[in-house]
């Protein structure tokens, strides 16, 4: 089981969130991050946050939001694109869900 975080804010808020999540990670919690709405811009190949890599956070972006913002050609390779069924599956597999939108 893991902690699933749904994030829809700007990058400056992501840094704050990741600082909080680092405490969860230190306790051995596996963290999965789903980017939605404007936060999908953070999935571009120019923006991956080093802190995400350092914490080994599995990062996902919602396909509909990626398409709506025409970000498909610019995604970082470590970001997995999921549809709504994939999002539901992540929810079902998670012990806790944190929404930051």
Q: Which residues on adjacent β-strands are paired with residue 77?
A: none
The span from the CA of 14 to the CA of 100, in Å, is 9
Q: What confidence score (pLDDT) does residue 47 get?
A: 58
CB 66 within 8 A of CB 75: yes
Q: What is the DSSP letter of 36?
A: -
Count structural domains, the chain: 1
The string of pLDDT tens digits covering residues 29-57 is: 888 999 999 999 888 766 555 666 666 78
CB 93 within 8 A of CB 2: yes
CATH of the domain at 13: 3.40.1260.10
The string of pLDDT tens digits covering residues 44-96 is: 766 555 666 666 789 999 999 999 998 888 788 888 999 999 999 999 999 99
Question: pTM to 2 decimals?
Answer: 0.87
The span from the CA of 7 to the CA of 4, in Å, is 10
Domain of residue 68 covers 2-100
């Amino acid at each position: 089981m893991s902690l699933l975080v749904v994030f829809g804010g700007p990058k400056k808020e992501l840094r704050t969130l990741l600082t909080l999540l680092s405490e969860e990670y230190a306790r051995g919690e596996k963290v999965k991050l789903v980017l939605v709405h404007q936060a999908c811009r953070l999935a571009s190949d120019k923006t991956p946050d080093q802190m995400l890599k350092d914490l080994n956070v599995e990062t996902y972006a919602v396909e509909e939001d990626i398409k709506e913002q025409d970000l498909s050609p610019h995604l970082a390779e470590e970001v997995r694109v999921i549809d709504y069924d994939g999002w539901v599956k992540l929810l079902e597999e998670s012990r806790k869900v944190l929404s930051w939108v």
